[in-house]
């Protein structure tokens, strides 16, 4: 047999430690700059950064390496779950670059970093669906759909979740054999992964009638529903990459929570999206990629990422929305407006609880 | 006959996996890292990826050196730290079970799925016609109904040892429990009566997909196999059906390990990138019938592209292990096994001690309702002692087996064939059980019936009796050709305890019982 059972509770609690261990042996994408550009004479500054994994492709992009080198930087990155960074010893790093503001604020407080923190780019959470699922949701008043995109009505969705609504109960689902079982959005594990945690942030905000979860009483009140949203999913993946890939390959769940940047980078990279429909929750959380400078070099790099036109363009290539002027994102995604809601019309940003509150929500949701 | 040949050819790759799992025993040798070579701990069923890995080597210069192992055993090894330093990457059919074990999950840094294959049922084409099934409409309840009506029998791999068996079990339990979301302990309890009926239809069990396919062809009277679509597609004469009400899909993630160096992880990333390139994805789907994970490559011809519901995998280890536990001890047909044990003079001393230790170790693994017969032999069978592990009091049966094992003594000649004949006579027909004979000998046959006598004896058995396979274990000075012949004749499989350990061989055979 495979050993004794009922280690579930311990499993979940250990997750935080797990991530810390991951970082210690973390991925080092040593990026050697200064070769391609012919600027051999220029001394480059080596910057050490701990980053959320969804930015690993960006920093590994040879054009990004080149653009950084042109400004005199060699960036060495290690990846870590954003929510695990605050538990790490960041000595020797120039910056931490989590995918959310809440963990960034927690790290900034711990290391007495002065605000404001540079936030070079962001990306809202979206739900990807195949056309069949999107149309059934639309027919039942849970979404609006226009070509390949739509808006998901979160309160209607949460209502369905509260009542354990199944696909079979939704009208029009009969034609699609794959639409069966409880209607749920598949997310990543909220205890280890940023997108899973942000899902709880948005859902709890809506569940409380547009009020961010701030107290123990709020956590208690929302816990049963949050637990339901997570437990129906069974095993969850630990990063948003795998579920998106499963979705694109036609396997996996009908509704999957991903970052808009994942979809945008697929489209900008001219890959075939199949019959993918992008549903923007009407209340969604945004992944604010926030730099926590730990040294002056770190702060300089954070500013550079925010302001350098070449780096902003490259961020767009990876699907991110640069902070401030929307022109670059709008231009690059102009051919894909049937998929992407460029102006986020009808989408409200749900505020994210503090790191401590969100941790507690995630822990209780995983049960 | 033509079909048999086709199947055997198709499963040759799978069978390679079985052979290699024998070689490493339970503790694979740690080897030093070599630049450009990645030591990958991989699920056994990935042995059919050899042509794909050859292509990757041409494209990238990266040589993958795989060590094949059952997925659940591999998870166990990772959890215990046995993969640290010994391997550069992990490549399992699925990380679902690994994720339920924090001690294993913490060893993984990143995972990238590189292909997928859903659980499916492969039904003999004539049986599809007899059942009047339209493949696109078949549901798990339809399959269940056919089993209840006595119209459908099937084989599957052992869920405790093989990921395909485990995924099948989760698919069946989710579908038949009526659970609308991830399985809970309550769902499993509720579904138990229906599952019990369902598993009455299981006529074949196996520790590996390769042997399952082989036994299916040999048996000829089993209607279907439950396994991954990719495995079933490689067997001739099966109509492969993905039940309409949902399946569990393997997504074969390549995982990097926390214990590796950054340089190694970069190599693994390059390997993953190469596996996900359009050309390689095309090769994968065309060669192995797995599904591509990039939208630009279409699944191989013959793979139905209709969507299926993905059944959620249990979110906790208590549910997953509880399901396995109930399968082993309550749901599946019990096994009846005769252990034909050489205790001739040559076994005296160390060899007998090792046999005793291995058998006593095995008592921790016997399932409830299992009937175990110890048949030690020398110049003839010395004694026949049968014990049942009763659900009411499992310990008393196990204690009795240990006691009998302790009392074994070594003397006399080696009457292999005479003893085997007596084992067949003891077992008789199947009686709704999985019957098998394990033969452990350290030498050649020296007395009693000869090989030819045994062949004639076996051929004279009733068809139901001939369904009992012999699993011989090579040990000490036993004769490989002699034992291989016994395995071939009876549809068993040869296990080698000379390279690995006797404990390991006994343990591996459990998957086939």
DSSP secondary structure string for all residues of A111-160: TTPPSPPP--EEEEEEEEEEHHHHHHHHHTTSEEEETTEEEE-HHHHHHH
Contacts of A1 in chain B (CB under 8 A): 160, 321, 324-325, 328, 365
Contacts of A271 in chain B (CB under 8 A): 294-296
Share of chain B above pLDDT 90, in %: 74
Residue B31, pLDDT score: 54
Q: What's the pLDDT tens digit per position in A78-103?
A: 777 787 787 778 888 999 999 988 88
| Statement: B334-512 belongs to CATH 3.40.50.410 | yes
Q: pLDDT-based confidence at A13, cuts 50/70/90? A: very low
Q: What's the pLDDT tens digit per position in A303-341?
A: 999 999 999 999 999 999 999 989 999 999 999 999 999
Q: How far is B99 from chain A (nearest CA, A)?
A: 8
- B3 has pLDDT over 80: no
Q: What's the pLDDT tens digit per position in A144-169?
A: 999 999 999 999 999 999 999 999 99
Residue A28, pLDDT score: 41
Is A238 in Cβ contact with B262 (below 8 Å)? Answer: no
Q: Do B3-115+251-292 and B334-512 agree at the fold level? A: no
Mean pLDDT of A116-135: 96
Interface check B365 vs A, CB under 8 A:
yes
Q: pLDDT-based confidence at A15, cuts 50/70/90? A: very low
- B260 has pLDDT over 90: no
Helices and strands: H and E segment counts in chain A = 14, 14
The partner residue sitting opposite A181, judged by closest CB among B309, B318, B328, is: B309
Report the residue of chain B nearest A275, measured CA to CA. B295
A335: tokens are 């051919």
- CATH number for the domain running over B3-115+251-292: 3.40.190.10
A239: tokens are 């990063």
Residues near A141 by Cβ (< 8 Å), separated by ≥ 6? A153, A156
Omega within 30 of 0 (cis) for the link into B473: no
Q: pLDDT-based confidence at A4, cuts 50/70/90? A: very low
Share of chain A above pLDDT 90, in %: 68
Q: What's the pLDDT tens digit per position in B329-370?
A: 999 999 999 999 999 999 999 999 999 999 999 998 899 999
* Assigned superfamily of B117-249+308-328: Periplasmic binding protein-like II (3.40.190.10)
DSSP state of B381: B
Q: What is the domain partition of chain B in residue ranges?
A: 3-115+251-292, 117-249+308-328, 334-512
Do A121 and A315 touch, CB atoms closer than 8 A? yes
- B187 has pLDDT over 50: yes
Q: Is B90 helix (H, G, I), strand (E, B) or coil?
A: strand
Mean pLDDT of B29-43: 76
Residue B431, pLDDT score: 73
Q: Which of A200-204, A270-274, B137-141, B378-382 has the lowest mean pLDDT?
A: A270-274
Mean pLDDT of B303-328: 91
Report the residue of chain B nearest A252, measured CA to CA. B310
Q: pLDDT-based confidence at B65, cuts 50/70/90? A: very high
Instruction: Considering only residues B179 and A129, tell me which one the structure prediction assigns the higher pLDDT.
Output: A129
Torsion angles phi and psi, residue B491, rounded to 5 = 75, 25
Residue A42, pLDDT score: 57
- 0.90 cut: is pTM over it? no
**Window 54-83 of B, Cβ < 8 Å to A:** 72, 76
Q: Is B117 helix (H, G, I), strand (E, B) or coil?
A: strand
- A269 has pLDDT over 80: yes
d(CA A332, CA A330) in angstroms, rounded, equals: 6
- A61 has pLDDT over 70: yes
- B33 has pLDDT over 60: no
Q: Is B479 helix (H, G, I), strand (E, B) or coil?
A: coil
- B247 has pLDDT over 50: yes
């Amino acid at each position: 047999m495979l050993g004794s059972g009922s280690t579930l509770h311990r499993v979940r609690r250990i997750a935080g430690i797990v991530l810390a261990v991951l970082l210690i042996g973390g991925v080092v994408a040593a990026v050697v700059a200064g070769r391609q550009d012919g600027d051999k004479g220029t001394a480059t500054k080596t910057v050490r950064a701990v980053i959320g994994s969804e930015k690993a492709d960006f920093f590994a992009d040879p054009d990004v390496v080149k653009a950084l080198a042109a400004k005199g930087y060699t960036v060495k990155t290690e990846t870590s779950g954003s929510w695990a960074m605050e538990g790490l010893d960041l000595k020797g790093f120039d910056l931490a670059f989590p995918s959310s503001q809440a963990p960034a604020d927690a790290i900034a407080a711990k290391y007495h970093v002065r605000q404001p923190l540079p936030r070079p780019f962001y990306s809202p959470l979206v739900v990807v669906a195949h056309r069949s699922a999107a149309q059934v949701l639309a027919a039942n008043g849970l979404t609006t759909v226009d070509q390949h995109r739509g808006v998901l009505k979160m309160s209607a969705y949460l209502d369905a979740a509260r009542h354990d609504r199944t696909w079979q109960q939704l009208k029009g689902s009969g034609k699609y054999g794959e639409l069966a079982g409880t209607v749920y959005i598949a997310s990543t594990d909220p205890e280890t992964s940023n997108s899973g945690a942000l899902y709880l942030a948005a859902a709890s905000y809506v569940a409380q009638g547009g009020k961010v979860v701030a107290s123990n009483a709020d956590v208690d009140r929302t816990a049963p529903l949050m637990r339901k949203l997570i437990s129906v999913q069974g095993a969850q993946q630990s990063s948003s990459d795998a579920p998106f890939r499963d979705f694109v390959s036609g396997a996996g769940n009908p509704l999957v929570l991903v970052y808009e940047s994942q979809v945008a980078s697929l489209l900008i990279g001219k890959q075939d999206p199949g019959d993918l429909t992008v549903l923007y929750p009407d209340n969604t959380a945004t992944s604010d990629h926030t730099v926590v400078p730990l040294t002056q070099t770190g702060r300089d790099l954070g500013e550079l990422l925010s302001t350098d036109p070449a780096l902003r363009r490259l961020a767009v290539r990876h699907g991110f929305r640069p902070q401030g002027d929307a022109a670059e994102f709008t231009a690059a995604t102009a051919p894909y407006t049937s998929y992407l809601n460029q102006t986020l019309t009808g989408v409200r940003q749900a505020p994210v609880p503090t790191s401590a509150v969100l941790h507690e929500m995630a822990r209780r949701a995983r049960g | 006959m033509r079909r048999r040949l086709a199947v055997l050819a198709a499963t040759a790759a799978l069978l390679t996996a079985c052979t290699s799992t024998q070689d490493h025993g339970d503790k694979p040798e740690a080897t030093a890292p070599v630049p450009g070579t990645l030591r990958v701990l991989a699920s056994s069923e990935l042995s059919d990826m050899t042509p794909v890995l050859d292509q990757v080597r041409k494209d990238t210069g990266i040589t993958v050196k795989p060590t094949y192992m059952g997925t659940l055993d591999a998870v166990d090894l990772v959890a215990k730290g046995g993969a640290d330093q010994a391997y550069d990457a992990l490549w399992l059919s699925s990380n679902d079970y690994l994720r339920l074990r924090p001690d294993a999950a913490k060893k993984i840094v990143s995972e990238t799925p590189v292909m997928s294959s859903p659980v499916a049922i492969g039904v003999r084409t004539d049986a599809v016609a007899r059942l009047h099934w339209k493949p696109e409409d078949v549901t798990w309840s339809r399959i269940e109904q056919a089993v209840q009506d006595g119209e459908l029998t099937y084989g599957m791999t052992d869920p405790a040892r093989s990921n395909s068996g485990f995924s099948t079990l989760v698919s069946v339990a989710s579908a038949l429990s009526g659970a609308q979301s991830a399985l809970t302990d309550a769902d499993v309890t509720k579904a138990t009566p229906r599952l019990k009926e369902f598993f009455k239809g299981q006529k074949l069990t196996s520790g590996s997909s390769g042997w399952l396919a082989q036994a299916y062809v040999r048996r000829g009277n089993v209607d279907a196999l439950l396994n991954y679509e990719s495995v079933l597609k490689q067997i001739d004469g099966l109509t492969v059906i993905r039940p309409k009400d949902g399946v569990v899909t393997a997504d074969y993630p390549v995982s990097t390990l926390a214990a590796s160096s950054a340089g190694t992880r970069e190599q693994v990333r390059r390997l993953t990138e190469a596996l996900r390139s359009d050309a390689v994805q095309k090769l994968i789907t065309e060669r192995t019938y797995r599904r591509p994970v990039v939208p630009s490559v279409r699944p191989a011809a013959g793979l139905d592209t209709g969507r299926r519901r993905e059944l959620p995998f249990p979110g906790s280890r208590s549910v997953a292990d509880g399901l396995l536990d109930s399968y082993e001890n309550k749901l599946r047909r019990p096994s009846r096994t005769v252990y034909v044990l050489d205790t001739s003079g040559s076994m005296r001393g160390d060899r007998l001690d090792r046999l005793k230790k291995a058998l006593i170790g095995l008592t921790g693994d016997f399932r409830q309702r299992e009937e175990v017969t110890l048949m030690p032999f020398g110049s003839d069978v010395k004694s026949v002692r049968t014990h049942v592990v009763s659900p009411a009091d499992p310990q008393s049966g196990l204690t009795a087996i240990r006691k009998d094992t302790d009392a074994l003594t070594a003397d006399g000649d080696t009457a292999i064939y005479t003893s085997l004949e007596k084992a067949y006579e003891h077992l008789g027909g199947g009686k709704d059980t999985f019957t098998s004979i394990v033969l452990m000998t350290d030498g050649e046959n020296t007395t009693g019936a000869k090989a030819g006598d045994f062949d004639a004896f076996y051929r004279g058995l009733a068809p139901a009796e001939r369904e009992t396979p012999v699993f011989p274990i090579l040990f000490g000075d036993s004769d490989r050709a002699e034992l291989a012949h016994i395995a071939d004749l009876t549809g068993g499989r040869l296990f080698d305890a000379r390279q690995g350990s006797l404990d390991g061989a006994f343990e591996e055979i459990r998957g086939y019982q």
